[in-house]
Structure 1
Amino acid sequence: MSELYGFDAYAPREVAQRIETVGVAKARLATLPLLMLGVLAGAFIGLGALAFLIVKADATLGWAASQWLGGLVFALGLLLVVVAGAELFTGNNLLAMAWADGRISTREVLRNWGWVCLANGLGAAGLAVLVWASGQTGLNGGRLAQQVVHIALNKQALPWHEALWRGVLCNVLVCLAVWMAMAGRSVADKAVAIVPPIATFVAAGFEHSIANMFFFPLAMLVQAGGGAPATPPVTFSGMLGNLVPVIGGNLLGGSVLVGLTYHVIYRRGSAS
């Protein structure tokens, strides 16, 4: 009866098999739809980041309250990716499971990660342009503009080793959210699985490479338009200095600490 009404979840061993099967399909997706779905995912994560900015721009909230509430609304991004359908670099780090099982090649994995990361960046930066052009950074008396510049400056100032490990911790939680969403049989199941880990990584201040591809361009556009000036300014080199270790950390956290760990536990030596 529980199966009929969808109240049961897939067991972890079944989730591992499902993620491998989905990983094979993702790795072999044609380039055009892969890029289009990647752009959508970048924009979706950007929408979650915009919702986070709106919360953080409210000075009446305490620090912990704004962090947790911001994390809850940021989860919109991954919900859109999982439910509406899109290709997200950080979630696709789980392709490591299908690779470790010999079902896809190293070339196929790198092709997916490379194109998807690039497309995510285009989607996130494109949304930043639209947000800036629409005047949304002027919300709450310009506090949203001030907040995005403040966030980007803090990220730019992170030492590389801190950015790396914050990236690791972030994508452990993101990939666990994707893993648990794959255990669900309904949209409600997926939402319950996704929101807590995503809210936690945001509240804790971990680093998500695709979200940063939205924050940095928006902050630079704000400054170029004369809003929220800061010294030192947010720069392209500062963005790259953040993204390189964060992308590396996201890869390590998602592919090794989640994907390969679960491969060893549930799939190593099993029949595909």
Structure 2
Amino acid sequence: MSYLSPPEFVTRMIDAGESKVFMSTRDTVIRAYMAGAILALAAAFAVTVTVRTGQPLLGALLFPVGFCLLYLLGFDLLTGVFTLVPLALLDRRPGVTVRAVARNWGLVFLGNLAGALTVALMMAVILTFGFSTGPDEVGRAIGTIGEGRTVGYAEHGAAGMLTLFVRGVLCNWMVSTGVVAAMMSTSVSGKVIGMWMPILVFFYMGFEHSVVNMFLFPSGLLLGGDFSVADYLLWNEIPTLVGNVVGGLAFVGLTLYATHARTGAPRLPAGGSVPAGASVRPPRRPDDRVEERTEGGAARRADGPTG
């Protein structure tokens, strides 16, 4: 069957996190660069659709195409490794250390940022005819987004910072749910359907995604947005990063790990014995693995991409 049970896909989550820790620096950066670039293109696409049709829901419905493509191509987003890589540490996988987790996060951050900045520059060139004219309607909309989601938060002080943080939490709750949903299926269609739904929710609700913002805000600066780099870092990117870590780990990674990988001891009925015919599955051991069979019959670990 194409559906995997929760204990099976949670083990895939841990295996995927472990594989990212030991990936070479070159591969980690390349995959992160491409993920940042593809997600940035999807964001530009969604904003363009929204501006030209006047239908924000349509833009949100189409935005997940970028997330699905980068996942299926095996590229890595910071929001995904925030959730999956720490599980390998928590599961005490050999060689996985706090330093190794931080190394992975840092490399993916740099790769995502470089990819998003590349697309931001390309889109700025397109929207201004090589900076020879003012930005068109889409360019002005991108600049407005940058102002509203930096200076707009700053106007509310601490309340604005709290709102920004919570939007970051909710964002990666949804995005990481999309990553996990893709692991529930072994078919391309099942993965795409699983990813599409929570990504649609995050984008339409205006939650804050650190990698999408790596495109939107530099683009806004290039296109004449009335805010500064300091505004972007202090009143968006840094709080968003923290919120993304908390949302992905607290509401997706740790909850699934706690209840499906480290299940609690089952409660026994009165009398202390298990009813006849009932099965009690013991908690999973750290060295357990879920294996899938390739066409040749050889077993391999699932170490899929992260979004």
TM-score normalised by the shorter chain: which range applies? Answer: 0.7 to 0.9
Q: Is 1:87 aligned with 2:81?
A: no
Q: What residue is the counterpart of 1:114 in the other structure? A: 106
Q: What residue is the counterpart of 1:237 in the other structure? A: 230
Instruction: Tell me how far 1:128 sits from its aligned partner.
Output: 0.6
Instruction: Tell me how far 1:109 sits from its aligned partner.
Output: 1.1
Q: What residue is the counterpart of 1:202 in the other structure? A: 203
Q: What residue is the counterpart of 1:227 in the other structure? A: none
Structure 2: which 5+ residue stretches go unaligned?
154-159, 263-282, 289-307
Aligned partners of 1:265, 1:177: CA distance in 2, in Å? 19
Instruction: Tell me how far 1:136 sits from its aligned partner.
Output: 6.9
Task: Show structure 1 runs of 4+ deviating over 6 A.
Answer: none
Residues 178/260 of structure 1: CA separation in 2 closer, same or farther (3 Å cut): same
| Structure whose alpha-carbon radius of gyration is higher | 2
Q: Is 1:132 aligned with 2:163?
A: no
SS at match of 2:144: helix
> Residue type of the partner of 1:75?
P
Instruction: Report if aligned partners of 2:124, 2:139 keep a CA contact under 8 Å in 1.
Output: no
Q: What residue is the counterpart of 2:48 in the other structure? A: 54
Instruction: Report if aligned partners of 2:127, 2:136 keep a CA contact under 8 Å in 1.
Output: no
Query: Size of the alignment, in residue pairs?
Result: 251
SS at match of 2:56: helix
SS at match of 2:211: helix
Q: What residue is the counterpart of 1:15 in the other structure? A: 9
Instruction: Report if aligned partners of 1:70, 1:199 keep a CA contact under 8 Å in 2.
Output: no
Say what the alpha-carbon RMSD is for the aligned residues. 1.6
Instruction: Report if aligned partners of 1:100, 1:263 keep a CA contact under 8 Å in 2.
Output: no
Q: Is 1:190 aligned with 2:204?
A: no
- TM-score (norm. length: structure 1): 0.88
Identity of aligned residues (%): 31
Q: What residue is the counterpart of 2:89 in the other structure? A: 99
Q: What residue is the counterpart of 1:270 in the other structure? A: 284
Structure 1: which 5+ residue stretches go unaligned?
224-229
1:233-262 Cα offsets, whole Å, 9 max, x none, are 121111102100000000000122211111
Instruction: Report if aligned partners of 1:95, 1:259 keep a CA contact under 8 Å in 2.
Output: no
Q: What residue is the counterpart of 1:144 in the other structure? A: 138
Q: What residue is the counterpart of 1:155 in the other structure? A: 149
Instruction: Tell me how far 1:77 sits from its aligned partner.
Output: 2.2
Instruction: Tell me how far 1:70 sits from its aligned partner.
Output: 1.5
Aligned partners of 1:33, 1:183: CA distance in 2, in Å? 25
> Residue type of the partner of 1:109?
V
Aligned partners of 2:79, 2:56: CA distance in 1, in Å? 21
Instruction: Report if aligned partners of 1:47, 1:76 keep a CA contact under 8 Å in 2.
Output: no
Instruction: Tell me how far 1:95 sits from its aligned partner.
Output: 1.6
> Residue type of the partner of 1:76?
V
2:38 aligns with one of 44, 47, 51: 44
Where is the helix percentage greater, Structure 1 or Structure 2?
1
1:33-57 Cα offsets, whole Å, 9 max, x none, are 1111111010011011011111221
Instruction: Report if aligned partners of 1:175, 1:254 keep a CA contact under 8 Å in 2.
Output: yes
Q: What residue is the counterpart of 1:246 in the other structure? A: 240
> Residue type of the partner of 1:70?
G
Q: Is 1:33 aligned with 2:47?
A: no
- TM-score (norm. length: structure 2): 0.78
Instruction: Tell me how far 1:90 sits from its aligned partner.
Output: 0.3
1:114-133 Cα offsets, whole Å, 9 max, x none, are 11012101110111111112
